[in-house]
């Protein structure tokens, strides 16, 4: 049987585990907000309408950071509609997803929910139909202590202390022809610069994210980032990347190797940003905010034009299988291995819409298969990320050529070692881990997300069909750990070093 070999040495590391990599995304889209996180009258909702079952699952998942309120939604959104007395809020048309938006949930509800899940906000401003003024007003509402028009309005709404929101996205996917108020790179670059300047005058402590390309296959990928950053490099801290990996748009091997594409994208965005830094003679380095990523059968989506005007419609409620969980695990591994330059990542989205958490109105909430690799990685990736030296058998793919069957990352937190590993192949994969310069290991454990049927899913009827389970046979022999990874699986090996 072919096997893989990993070598770990504490002298070689990527950097610290950035907790903001375990971010998620709540958009006013489909049932992510309404009947997802927010459902007044639901048996598990409090007086605030927030579903406690979803809060508990979000905490269990280990989500650290949540992007809000969109997505395409934000480019036609008026944030003032979603604050103040609920009875006075207007119902509006959302042009992004053809939704009837009641505004029953807005910034103040989101921040209340966020406190419950113990996560940090990543707030997006509308640079589609709106501009500098509304963006700066929102920063004033959220972050200014008081004594001004917008900060006093927040206080009047019952929030005396400023929210202190640090991270802000300057619009969303402004390169996309589908975006309401989309822009050319020059138009957007200038607007991002001016909006950032005004927002920073209100609160100098902000961390700002400029919009990169909406995906890597768009023809302007690379040139968009370069042009935009020529305008706003000095005013921003991050450049965004988005990508969805399609289980039905290509071959199965291509899908299982999706992380190769994520890696190419991260490296391409970093190279472009560093090129602009060199041109501008800047020593500052930007980080990537990979603030939309997930598995999504996007090729099956017929576009927003196919939707009817509805409130909280069932849009892209993807059901995930074991292969989807393995791919999500390999994407998390890729983010960890690039944590020296990726500072934020948000899985899109949190509830119902291409999401790890599914809910039914008035009914239960449950974990999709992709919940598990996220929760396991967020729980066990602590301390420092080691640079893993790996050799593994290769598998052929149409899109990326020969790709290693193994994707892996490792973290070390004092005496706790965690190795994250995805077997993309259809055969069990024996792995040997050489601990080289590390102390002796003990208490080795191996959990896996796998199933004899890689198409197995969790459903309302069978919500626990796919769960992490202990795997047999992991062993320690001196400075050598051995284990066998099941076919198409996500795995975590943990050991104590002393």
Binding site for ligand AHR (CB under 6 A): 27, 29, 70-72, 172-173, 214, 292, 348-349
Q: Has 116 been annotated as catalytic?
A: no
**Residue 98 Cβ vs ligand AHR, minimum distance, rounded to whole Å:** 13
**Residue 374 Cβ vs ligand AHR, minimum distance, rounded to whole Å:** 16
Give the bridge partners for 311, in sequence order.
none
Say which residues have a Cβ less than 8 Å from residue 288's Cβ, sequence separation at least 6.
212, 238, 239, 240, 241, 266, 269, 270, 273, 338, 341, 342, 343, 344
With CA atoms as reference, report the closest residue to 159 among 222, 231, 234, 107.
107
Q: How far apart are CA 175 and CA 212, in angstroms?
A: 8
Residue 84 vs 249, nearer CB to ligand AHR? 249
Residue 172 vs 359, nearer CB to ligand AHR? 172
Residue 324 vs 487, nearer CB to ligand AHR? 324
Beta carbons within 10 angstroms of residue 283's beta carbon: 6
How far is residue 144 from each of residues 149, 158, 203, 487, measured CA to CA in Å?
10, 15, 8, 53
**Residue 216 Cβ vs ligand AHR, minimum distance, rounded to whole Å:** 13
**Residue 295 Cβ vs ligand AHR, minimum distance, rounded to whole Å:** 12
Residue 96 vs 429, nearer CB to ligand AHR? 96
Q: How far apart are CA 497 and CA 416, in angstroms?
A: 6
**Residue 267 Cβ vs ligand AHR, minimum distance, rounded to whole Å:** 22
Catalytic residue among 18, 101, 173, 318: 173
**Residue 448 Cβ vs ligand AHR, minimum distance, rounded to whole Å:** 29
Beta carbons within 10 angstroms of residue 75's beta carbon: 26
Residue 228 vs 405, nearer CB to ligand AHR? 228
Q: How far apart are CA 139 and CA 155, in angstroms?
A: 14
Residue nearest to ligand AHR (CB): 71
With CA atoms as reference, report the closest residue to 431 among 443, 415, 420, 417.
420
Residue 368 vs 491, nearer CB to ligand AHR? 368
Residue 171 vs 487, nearer CB to ligand AHR? 171
Residue 262 vs 495, nearer CB to ligand AHR? 262
**Residue 238 Cβ vs ligand AHR, minimum distance, rounded to whole Å:** 16
Helix axes 371-380, 322-337, angle to 10 degrees: 30
Q: Has 292 been annotated as catalytic?
A: yes
**Residue 307 Cβ vs ligand AHR, minimum distance, rounded to whole Å:** 13
Q: Which residues are catalytic?
A: 173, 292
């Amino acid at each position: 049987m072919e096997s893989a070999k990993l070598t770990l040495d504490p002298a070689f590391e990527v950097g610290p585990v950035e907790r903001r990599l375990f971010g998620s995304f709540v958009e006013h889209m489909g049932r992510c907000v309404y009947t997802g996180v927010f459902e007044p009258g639901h048996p598990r909702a409090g007086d605030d309408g927030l579903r406690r079952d979803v809060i508990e699952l979000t905490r269990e998942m280990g989500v650290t950071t949540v992007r809000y309120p969109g997505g395409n939604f934000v480019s036609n959104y008026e944030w003032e509609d979603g604050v103040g007395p609920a009875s006075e809020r207007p119902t509006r048309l959302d042009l992004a997803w053809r939704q009837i938006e009641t505004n029953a949930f807005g910034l103040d509800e989101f921040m209340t929910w966020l406190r419950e899940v113990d996560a940090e906000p990543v707030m997006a401003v509308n640079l589609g139909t709106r501009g500098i003024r509304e963006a700066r007003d929102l920063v004033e509402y959220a972050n200014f202590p008081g004594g001004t028009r917008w900060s006093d309005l927040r206080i009047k709404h019952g929030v005396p202390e400023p929210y202190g929101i640090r991270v802000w996205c300057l619009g969303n996917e402004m390169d996309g022809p589908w975006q309401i108020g989309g822009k050319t790179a020059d138009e957007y670059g200038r607007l991002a610069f001016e909006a950032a300047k005004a927002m920073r005058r209100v609160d100098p402590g902000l961390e700002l994210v400029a919009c990169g390309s909406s995906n890597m296959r768009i023809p302007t990928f690379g040139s968009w980032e370069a042009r935009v950053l020529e305008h706003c490099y000095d005013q921003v801290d991050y450049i965004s990347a988005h990508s969805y990996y399609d289980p039905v748009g290509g071959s199965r091997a291509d899908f299982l190797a999706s992380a190769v594409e994520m890696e190419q994208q991260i490296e391409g965005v970093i190279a472009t940003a560093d090129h602009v830094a060199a041109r501008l003679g800047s020593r500052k380095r930007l980080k990537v905010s990979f603030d939309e990523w997930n598995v999504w059968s996007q090729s099956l989506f017929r576009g927003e034009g196919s939707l009817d005007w509805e409130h909280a419609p069932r849009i892209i409620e993807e059901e995930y299988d074991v292969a989807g969980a393995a791919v999500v695990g390999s994407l998390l591994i890729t983010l960890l291995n690039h944590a020296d330059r990726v500072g934020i990542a948000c899985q899109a989205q949190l509830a119902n819409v291409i999401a790890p958490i599914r809910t039914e109105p008035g009914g239960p909430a449950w974990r999709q298969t992709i919940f598990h690799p996220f929760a396991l990685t967020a729980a066990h990736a602590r301390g420092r990320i080691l640079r893993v030296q790996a050799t593994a058998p290769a598998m052929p793919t149409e899109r990326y050529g020969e790709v290693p069957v193994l994707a892996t990352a490792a973290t070390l937190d004092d005496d706790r070692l965690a190795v994250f590993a995805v077997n993309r192949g259809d055969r069990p994969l024996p792995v040997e881990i050489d601990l080289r310069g590390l102390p002796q290991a003990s208490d080795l454990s191996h959990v896996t997300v796998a199933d004899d049927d890689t198409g197995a899913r969790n459903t309302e009827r069978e919500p626990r069909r796919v769960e992490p389970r202990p795997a047999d046979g992991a062993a320690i022999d001196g400075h050598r750990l051995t284990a066998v990874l099941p076919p198409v699986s996500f795995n975590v090996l943990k050991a104590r070093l002393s």
